[in-house]
Amino acid sequence: MTVVLTRSRVDNLVDAGQVLEILREGFRAPAAHQPPLRIRTDLPGPGTATCLMPGLLPGVPAYTVKTNAKFPGATPALRGVVCLHDLQSGELLALADSSSITSWRTGLAAALGTHLLAASGADTLGFVGAGAQAGRTLTGLRHLRKWRRVVACDLDRTRAAALTRHVVASAADVAADADVVVLATWSRQPLLHASGVRPGQHLTTLGADEPGKIELSADLLRTARVVVDDLALAAHSGALGNAGLDAGAAVGTLAEVVQGTLLARDSEETVTVYAPVGLPWQDLALTWALYQRATTPDQIIIDLLA
């Protein structure tokens, strides 16, 4: 029987600590022999369509195919489905809501990268953009270290206030107040420049995940120590390429940091940037974990009694 993982069911089944460890192990795993496919196209009107496939991980007997529709004016802005297939037979094991799968895997992977790259003493956290993605990332970061203060700004002030009681007016104000800044917006203009950051600060940019979207300026990215999740994607449709830079602007990937072959920081004064685009294996890591939880005898009984 195909398991249906609705948005509410995904939210109920996610164990952030477990998923963070699964993602860490995923970054440790050897890279797949074939590069993942990320196909994107504009649609008539305001939306875009994206397909990510195949999600593969060593030791997992399944793969994922994800299709997304992105409509900035909609709520949620991302809608779609993640298909989980048996790797040997192709059987459809699960259909999962893409909006929730994507926000959780992106937010928790971003939390892991942010934690690993931020200075050890960093204890103030800021968000530019306070939507669902920010909330997921904050959940992950609170699992990984303690934060003395969290600040946020958003075009919708009430949304920022729902994330934290410390609301400021702009991205510049967030950067002035926080050791670590996470940007999760739809911006098509740089929100922070090199002149607006200070030594030792860390920035994670999540919004620059397709052509045209940009949150950090080229001068900032040129002078910072930039780590990405995939060099080719970062240069093609991520933070680097969208700022006019090539893959050489990055020092390497988060997988190399997790595997211990690349230093997260070369000094406490270094400005670091994590600029992921998002990889199909992360969809598999989360969807497979949720599928396993959903098909345990105890969970099946809970679902029948609900």
CA Rg, the chain, in Å?
19
Q: How far apart (Å, rounded) are the C-alpha atoms in residues 35 and 161?
A: 41
Whether residue 300 has pLDDT greater than 90:
no
Average pLDDT over residues 244-257: 97
Mean pLDDT of the chain: 94
Average pLDDT over residues 115-138: 97
Whether residue 157 has pLDDT greater than 70:
yes
Average pLDDT over residues 283-290: 97
Smallest CA-to-CA distance from 101 within 127, 129, 79 is with 79
Average pLDDT over residues 127-155: 97
Average pLDDT over residues 20-47: 87
Q: How far apart (Å, rounded) are the C-alpha atoms in residues 82 and 156?
A: 30
Whether residue 303 has pLDDT greater than 70:
no
Task: For domain 122-278, give the CATH superfamily.
Answer: NAD(P)-binding Rossmann-like Domain (3.40.50.720)
Average pLDDT over residues 11-17: 96
pLDDT in tens, 177-236: 999 999 999 999 999 999 999 999 999 999 998 889 999 999 999 999 999 999 999 999
Whether residue 35 has pLDDT greater than 90:
no
Average pLDDT over residues 16-43: 88
DSSP string, 162-224: HH-SEE-SSHHHHHHH-SEEEE----EEEEE-GGG--TT-EEEE-S--STT-EEE-HHHHHHS
Whether residue 297 has pLDDT greater than 90:
no
Whether residue 287 has pLDDT greater than 90:
yes
CATH 3.30.1780.10 for domain 3-102+281-305, yes or no, is yes
Residue 301 pLDDT: 62
pLDDT in tens, 61-109: 999 999 999 998 888 889 999 999 999 999 999 999 999 999 999 999 9
Extents of the domains making up the chain: 3-102+281-305, 122-278
Residue 302 pLDDT grade (very low, low, confident, very high; cuts 50, 70, 90) = low
Q: What is the DSSP letter of 91?
A: -
Phi, psi torsion values for 84, nearest 5 degrees = -105, 120
Which is higher by pLDDT, 31 or 250? Answer: 250
Smallest CA-to-CA distance from 204 within 140, 247, 155 is with 140
Smallest CA-to-CA distance from 220 within 237, 204, 236 is with 204
Give percent of the chain with pLDDT exceeding 70.
Answer: 97
Q: What is the DSSP letter of 247?
A: G
Residue where the block lists tokens 């790797």: 87
Q: How far apart (Å, rounded) are the C-alpha atoms in residues 150 and 123?
A: 9
Residue 36 pLDDT: 76
Residue 298 pLDDT: 72
Residue 33 pLDDT: 58
pTM: 0.94
Q: Which of 123-127, 234-238, 255-259 is predicted with the least confidence, judged by mean pLDDT? A: 234-238
